[in-house]
Structures are given as structure tokens and as C-alpha cells.
Amino acid sequence: MIEFNVCLVDDDEHIREGISTALEAVYHVDTYPTAEEALKAIPKKSPDLVLLDIGLPGMSGTDALQEIKKIDPEIPVIMITAFEDIDTVISTMKLGAHDYIIKPLHMDALEKTIKNVLETVRLRKEVQLLQERFLKENTPCFIAESNAIQDVMEFMRKVAKSPDTPILIIGETGTGKELIARAIHFHSPNFKGPFITVNCAAIPRDLIESELFGYEKGSFTGARASGKRGLIEEAAGGTLFLDEVGDLSLESQAKLLRFLEVGEFYRIGGTKKLFVQTRVVSATNKDIDAMIRNGQFRNDLFFRLGVIKVQVPALNERPGDIIPLAKHFLFEFSRKFGKKFTGISAEAERRLKESDWVGNVRELKNIIERGVLVGDGPELLLHDLGLIQKSETERFIMRGGPKLSFPSLSSEGIDLTFAQETMERFYIKAALKIADGNESKAARLLHMNHHTFRYRKNKLLGD
Ligand SMILES: Nc1ncnc2c1ncn2[C@@H]1O[C@H](COP(=O)(O)OP(=O)(O)OP(=O)(O)O)[C@@H](O)[C@H]1O
Ligand SMILES: [Mg+2]
């Protein structure tokens, strides 16, 4: 049984008493004589409904309505008004008031209006409760301790609310893109619908279209006699997750774009136009910008898929997640393998924090799985991790090598020779670092002969 909280704001004591006595048997009623007092209480009480007098001393009902909408635009507000105030009533309705009742109040009419409004609230709450239960039962545990990933999750929850806006998830391999795609589904209004995954890299290019769009019988050799629904159709009312979307052929990209733009498509060999409402979430660990420059990915499709973009940071960019994730996997595998691990030794923790997680969360998960299998417990030891300490240089290279940022060209202009030499100096130093000071190795890294390298080095760095 859902309990409702009603907030009543009226400066007339008789009205406050009259209404609360009439409603108390069914609802929980809080009364306030001024808008100021009500506004202070509303964020804490989060009422399901506000009854708001228009003519209040101090802040007016109209102003209070706007403040309430700022606190929570979803709280329904019913205005209470004297008959002659009808112009104000109209303006409050435009500002988002749900309904109005006219003084002198007739309790029957008031109760009926309240019941109607709360019926919508009840339905919304029921859906919310259902969704929460669904979420608990269906979403795999997503560890998000660091601010960086918490920001991603908060953004994700916001954008998930629309049922069909396309979302593109970008991030290195193993950062959790698929988990986030699932989370989007369960936080969206389509949560009860299907979640259909299409791994564009795993399906052969000549089959992907028939998989996505389906086909009519006899449309190609090998086609099933009965024809087949495509995955887009399967995803109706839910979410279609296009994983590794960068692997789609240009031809399939064109068809997908058409579907995204107008929501319609044909099965292969079919003549009937089909319409499907589903949300397309896509993910990629490829550098799509580079693919667009090379003509491998359509710019217009990229924009359409990425109306909303969610960028998932690499694990090294959110070191605060490493240990919580490691512990989560430790307990998960411990349970799975029937072992009794209770924690991670300080030495092992240190190494985990220092490691370069090129494979991100997936690599960490694999390392912990291995550790739990080979270790005896109760603590996971450094030895169990089997991590080889990487040299400074290896780490330097694995992090994507040196990073150089260029000064931007302003109206002041820029000394190009100086900029070029700065860049050259930077790469010569970086190459020497990677090559442990060995000049001929460093020269090879920069595709130069040893002689030119030495000449440039002496010129730019001095002997
Ligand atoms: N925050 C997290 N909490 C718990 N498990 C996680 C988290 N992030 C990733 N994982 C786990 O790590 C593994 C890799 O995640 P996922 O498959 O979502 O990565 P991905 O970004 O899709 O990688 P790829 O680009 O290689 O497809 C999965 O087993 C997933 O369950
Ligand atoms: Mg993936």
C-alpha cells in the first residue's frame, strides 16, 4: 500500500484545519501558513501533492509554485483560489500547476480532484518500485567508487530516462562499456522490454544485415524458407545494443542510419516497410574520429549514434576504483571456486595500484580470477597475482608514450620554428628515455639515421 504525503499551504487557519481533518483519514497531511515555511520543508518531506493557496501573505502562491517546480518538477500542485482570481489561475496553469479548486471549498470536489491527481502519482510510483526491483534483480553489480566513474553513472542515469535517444559509449577495451549499456537499459522506461546485443565484430560482414534487419523467405541462398525476424525487430520496445559498432561495413552503416533517422526499414527481400521503436545504444573502443578521416565510418551515422556520448575513463585514470573492484572480484571468484578469501595483502594491494591496466577492468578481473584459483588464502598475496613488475620504460610506452600539447595559435601569432624545435626536442628526449640512452636505438625510433639524430640532438639539447 503506497502512503501519500500531502502538503497544504494556506494562511487561513480554518481552511487548514478543515482540509486536514477531511483528508487525515486517508493521507498524511502537513500544513503551513506561508509559502516560505512550506518551501523550507518540501525538500525534506518530498510530498506527493501540494495544495497551494494563491493569495498568501509574503511570497505569493504563483511565486511559490515556480520555486516548488525548481525543487522537483514532478510534484503535482493544486492551486486554491478565490473565484475572482481566475486570471491568476490561468497563469499558474501555464506555469505547471496541475489543477485548481475554488473557494469556498466543497470537500467532495476537493477529494475527487486530489484522488485523480494522486492516481497518476500512484501509477508513477508503482512503475518506479517495479523498476527498482527489476534493477536489483537484473543488473550485475557495477563498482563505482571513484568520482570519475560516479560522474559517468550519474550522467548515464539522466540520459537513460528518454526511451529512444541513441547513446554511444566510448572507451578503451575492458572499461565496462557493455555493463553500462545494460545499466542504461534498466534505468530507461524500456526496462521491461528486451535487451538485444549485436556484436558487430563477431558477425561476418555479409551476414550482419540479415541479422539486423531480418529477411523474407528465399531472399538469398541459405536463407531459411520461412524468413526471419531481424534483431531490430526483436529489440522492439527495449534496447538494441550495437557492440563494436566501428566494425560495421559502410553499406550496413547507410541502412542503419536510415533506420535511426526515420525508424523504418525493410527486411532483406521484403517490400513491407517496418517500423520499430527501440533505443539504440552503441559502443566502440576504436578511434572513430580517425575512422571518419579515413573514410571507414560515416560522419552522419556517428552524429546520429552519438546524440548522447558517454565516455568511460580508463582504469588508470580512476585509480580509486582498483582496490574496490579487486575486492569485488575476489569475493565473487572466492564464492564461485568455493574458496575462503577474506582480503588482499598490503603488498599485493600496492602492486595492484601500481600496475598499468592496459586491459582495464577486464585485465584486473582476470588477474584476480587467476589469483583466487592458484592462491590458498585467506589473503590474496603478491605471489598469487603473477604480475610481472614492468620497467619504467615499458609503463611509459604502454601509457601511449609521451604526451605533447601544442600552444594554440592566437592573434599574437606564433614562432613556428620555435614550435617545431620544441616538438623535436621533446621527441628526442622521449626517444632517448625509451631507448635507455642508447642513441642508435633512439634514432631508429624516430626513423632517422644515427648521424642526423646526433646532429639534431647536439643542436637542440647541447652535448
Ligand atoms: N565497474 C565495474 N564493476 C564490476 N565489474 C566490471 C566493471 N567494469 C567492468 N567490469 C567487468 O569487466 C569485464 C569487462 O567489461 P565490459 O565487457 O563491459 O568491457 P567493454 O568496455 O565492453 O570492453 P570491450 O571494448 O573489450 O568490449 C566484464 O566482465 C565486466 O563485468
Ligand atoms: Mg564490450
Q: What is the pLDDT of residue 407?
A: 61
Whether residue 104 has a cis bond before it, omega within 30° of 0: yes
Residue 228: pLDDT over 90: no
We report the CATH number of the domain holding residue 435 as 1.10.10.60
Confidence of residue 127 (pLDDT cuts 50, 70, 90): confident
Which CATH number belongs to the domain containing residue 331 in this structure? 1.10.8.60
Same domain, 260 and 385: no
Closest residue (by CA) to atom 13 of ligand 1? 362
Mean pLDDT of 100-113: 87
pTM for the predicted model, two decimal places? 0.64
Distance, in Å, from the CA atom of 187 to the CA atom of 172, rounded to the nearest integer, reads 23
- In this structure, of 59-63, 83-87, 96-100, 154-158, the range with the lowest mean pLDDT score is 83-87
Please check whether residues 205 and 278 belong to one and the same domain. Answer: yes
- Asked whether residue 223 carries a pLDDT value surpassing 60, the answer given is no
Counting ligands in written order, the one closest to the CA of 246 is 1
- Indicate whether residue 176 lines ligand 1 (CB < 6 A): yes
Question: What is the rounded CA–CA span in Å between residue 409 and residue 417?
Answer: 13
* For residues 170-181, average pLDDT: 92
For residue 179, how far is its CA from the centre of ligand 1 (angstroms)? Answer: 6
pLDDT per residue as tens digits for the range 243-287: 999 888 888 898 889 889 888 888 888 888 989 999 999 999 888
Q: Is 183 in the pocket of ligand 1 (CB under 6 A)?
A: no
C-alpha cell at 38: 512550506
- Residues 204, 62 within the same domain: no
Cβ(148) to ligand 1 under 6 A? no
Q: How far apart are CA 148 and CA 300, in angstroms?
A: 29
Distance 441 CA to ligand 1 centre (A): 37
Q: Are residues 33 and 106 in the same domain?
A: yes
Asked whether residue 234 is assigned to any structural domain, the reply reads: yes
- Ligand 2 centroid to 174 CA: how many Å? 7
Residue with CA closest to ligand 1 atom 4: 142
Binned at pLDDT 50, 70 and 90, residue 231 comes out as very high
Based on the domain organization, do 160 and 286 belong to the same domain?
Answer: yes
**Domain presence at residue 76:** yes
* Model confidence at 53: pLDDT above 90: yes
The pLDDT value recorded for residue 354 is 84
Decide if pLDDT at 394 tops 60.
Answer: no
Is 307 a domain residue? yes
Question: Both 157 and 286 in a single domain?
Answer: yes
- Same domain, yes or no: 339 and 258: no
Nearest one of 185, 210, 192, 206 to 280, comparing CA atoms: 185
Please report whether residue 316 resides in a domain: no
For residues 30-51, give the mean pLDDT: 93
| pLDDT higher than threshold 60 for residue 346 | yes
From the CA of 179, the nearest ligand is 1
The reply to whether ligand 1 has any atom less than 6 angstroms from the CB of 175 is yes
Q: Which of 79, 103, 129 is the last residue of a domain?
A: 129
Please check whether residues 233 and 280 belong to one and the same domain: yes
Q: Looking at ligand 1, which atom is closest to the CA of residue 284?
A: 25
CATH, residue 28: 3.40.50.2300
Q: Is the CB of 246 under 6 A from ligand 1?
A: no
**Residue 142 CB–ligand 1 contact under 6 Å:** yes
In a domain, 134, yes or no: no
pLDDT in tens, 67-106: 999 998 889 999 998 877 788 888 999 999 999 988 888 8
In a domain, 13, yes or no: yes
Q: Does residue 252 have its Cβ closer than 6 Å to ligand 1?
A: no
CA of 246 to the centre of ligand 2 (A): 12
Q: How confident is the model at residue 330 (pLDDT cuts 50, 70, 90)?
A: very high
Determine the atom of ligand 1 nearest the C-alpha atom of 312. 21
pLDDT band at 421 (very low <50, low <70, confident <90, very high): confident
Rounded CA gap, 455 and 450, in Å? 9
Q: What is the pLDDT of residue 34?
A: 95
Cβ 174 vs Cβ 359: under 8 Å: yes
**Is the minimum distance from the CB of 456 to ligand 1 under 6 angstroms?**
no
Indicate the pLDDT class of residue 398, thresholds 50, 70 and 90: low
Is the C-beta atom of 313 inside 6 A of ligand 1? no
CA of 200 to the centre of ligand 2 (A): 11
Q: What is the pLDDT of residue 179?
A: 93
Ligand 1 nearest atom to the CA of residue 365, by list position:
12
Look up the domain containing 15 and give its range.
5-129
Which atom of ligand 1 is found nearest the CA of 328?
Answer: 4
Q: Which ligand gives the minimal distance to the CA of 173?
A: 1
460 touches ligand 1 (CB under 6 Å): no
Confidence class of residue 294 from pLDDT cuts 50, 70 and 90?
A: confident
Q: Is residue 151 domain-shared with residue 295, that is, in the same domain?
A: yes
- Single out the residue in 359, 389, 419 at which a domain terminates: 389
pLDDT of residue 298: 93
- Which residues, chain by chain, have CB under 5 Å from ion ligand 2? 178
The three-state (H, E, C) secondary structure of the chain, written as one string: CCCCEEEEECCCHHHHHHHHHHHCCCCEEEEECCHHHHHHHHHHHCCCEEEEECCCCCCCHHHHHHHHHHHCCCCCEEEEEEHHHHHHHHHHHHCCCCEEEEECCCHHHHHHHHHHHHHHHHHHHHHHHHHHHHHHHHCCCCCCCCHHHHHHHHHHHHHHCCCCCCEEEECCCCCCHHHHHHHHHHHCCCCCCCEEEEECCCCCHHHHHHHHHEECCCCCCCCCCCCEECHHHHCCCCEEEEECHHHCCHHHHHHHHHHHHHCEEECECCCCEEECCCEEEEEECCCHHHHHHCCCCCHHHHHHHCCEEEECCCHHHCHHHHHHHHHHHHHHHHHHCCCCCCEECHHHHHHHHHCCCCCHHHHHHHHHHHHHHHCCCCEECHHHHCCCCCCHHHHHHHCCCCCCCCCCCCCCCCCHHHHHHHHHHHHHHHHHHHCCCCHHHHHHHCCCCHHHHHHHHHHHHCC
Percent of the chain whose predicted confidence (pLDDT) is above 90: 43
Return the best residue to mutate from 139, 145, 172, 178 for the ligand 1 pocket (most ligand atoms within 8 A of CB): 178
Residue 414: count of CB within 10 angstroms of its CB:
12
Q: Which atom of ligand 1 is closest in space to residue 142's alpha carbon?
A: 3
* 409 pLDDT above the threshold of 80: no
Instruction: Choose the final residue of a domain: 81, 98, 129.
Output: 129
Q: How many independent structural domains does the chain possess? A: 4
The answer to whether residues 235 and 93 belong to one domain is: no
**Does 137 reside within a domain?**
no
Q: Are 9 and 45 in contact (CB under 8 A)?
A: no
Q: Is the pLDDT of residue 199 over 60?
A: yes
Same domain, 184 and 283: yes
Q: Are residues 83 and 161 in the same domain?
A: no
Q: What's the pLDDT score for residue 400?
A: 54
Return the residue whose CA atom lies nearest to atom 24 of ligand 1: 173
Contact between residue 185 and residue 191 where contact means Cβ atoms under 8 Å apart: yes
For residue 256, how far is its CA from the centre of ligand 2 (angstroms)?
Answer: 20
Question: Residue 224 has what pLDDT?
Answer: 60
Average pLDDT value for the chain: 86
Lowest mean pLDDT of 74-88, 142-156, 322-336, name the range: 74-88
Q: Which ligand is nearest to the CA of 286?
A: 1
Ligand 2 geometric centre to CA of 157 (Å): 19
Confirm whether 318 is domain-assigned. no
Task: Tell me, using a 6 A CB cutoff, whether residue 173 lines ligand 1.
Answer: yes
